[in-house]
Amino acid sequence: QQQVKQSPQSLIVQKGGISIINCAYENTAFDYFPWYQQFPGKGPALLIAIRPDVSEKKEGRFTISFNKSAKQFSLHIMDSQPGDSATYFCAASMNEPDTDKLIFGTGTRLQVFP
Amino acid sequence: SAVISQKPSRDICQRGTSLTIQCQVDSQVTMMFWYRQQPGQSLTLIATANQGSEATYESGFVIDKFPISRPNLTFSTLTVSNMSPEDSSIYLCSVVGAGANVLTFGAGSRLTVL
């Protein structure tokens, strides 16, 4: 119940295309869903996060879509760029990160080719 | 957000030895955590570092193998004891800043055990 399932494991997209990464969870008590971006040799960095009271959140080219009934959420990267090539992790927790630990998905390695 | 410095950034160690990783934050934080990221894998929480008291370990991790100290609000250490090749991994310090409610990661310490 504590797992967050992420797919695909790897993704290859052409420059300008849309990258879509999906995550699913079981625990309905989760109410905070962040996405982290990790470049090689660096620690993961928060990219965007959503709470279940909204179905979509957009920040620039990055959008989280949230489907509470299906217990799924996804990251969409519009107009993907080579600089977006990184590993992306979804995560979930029952509260804010200062009161509850984050459970991470298995990661998606995104490669964007020119 | 908080800036995290981890030392060492990488090390190569012999089987049976121990290594201590340091995590220094540039501001006071409410929570400090230690994660492990095995090659190509997700992020697994080892423990929550509690200031002035024993760390809280996740299932599968024990104090004898991963002793943790947190003497104040800005510093913590993780020791990997009696290392084996299976301990080869990236160890990441992460924090939640006061009032930030965002989990921030350090760049990690890449450990290789021969």
- For residue A101, which residues of chain B lie inside 8 Å, CB to CB? 33, 45, 48
Give the confidence band of B89 by pLDDT, cuts at 50, 70, 90. very high
**pLDDT below 50 — which residues of chain A?**
none
The answer to whether A46 contacts B42, with C-beta atoms less than 8 Å apart, is no
The answer to whether A105 contacts B107, with C-beta atoms less than 8 Å apart, is no
The answer to whether A97 contacts B101, with C-beta atoms less than 8 Å apart, is yes
pLDDT at B93: 97
pLDDT at B1: 76
pLDDT at B40: 79
Task: Give the nearest chain B residue to A33 (CA atoms).
Answer: B102
- For residue B48, which residues of chain A lie inside 8 Å, CB to CB? 101
Interface test with A, best of B57, B103, B105 (most A CBs within 10 A): B103
Query: CA B61, CA B69: separation in Å to the nearest integer?
Result: 15
Residue pLDDT, tens place only, B20-70: 999 999 998 888 999 999 887 889 999 999 998 899 999 999 999 999 999
Q: Say if CB B104 and CB B1 are below 8 A apart.
A: yes
Pick the closest to residue A22 from A71, A69, A74 (CA basis).
A74
Q: What is the mean pLDDT of residues B64-91?
A: 96
Is the Cα dihedral A96, A99, A104, A110 positive or negative?
A: positive
The answer to whether A101 contacts B33, with C-beta atoms less than 8 Å apart, is yes
A106 lies within 8 A of chain B by CB: yes
Could you tell me how many CB contacts below 8 A there are between chain A and chain B? Answer: 46
Query: CA A76, CA A39: separation in Å to the nearest integer?
Result: 18
Residue pLDDT, tens place only, B60-70: 999 999 999 99
Task: Give the nearest chain B residue to A93 (CA atoms).
Answer: B103
Q: Mean pLDDT of all residues in chain B?
A: 93
| Strand ranges of the sheet holding B4-7, from the earlier edge strand across to the other edge | B4-7, B19-25, B75-80, B68-72
Q: Say if CB B4 and CB A45 are below 8 A apart.
A: no
The answer to whether A43 contacts B30, with C-beta atoms less than 8 Å apart, is no
Q: Say if CB B69 and CB B63 are below 8 A apart.
A: no
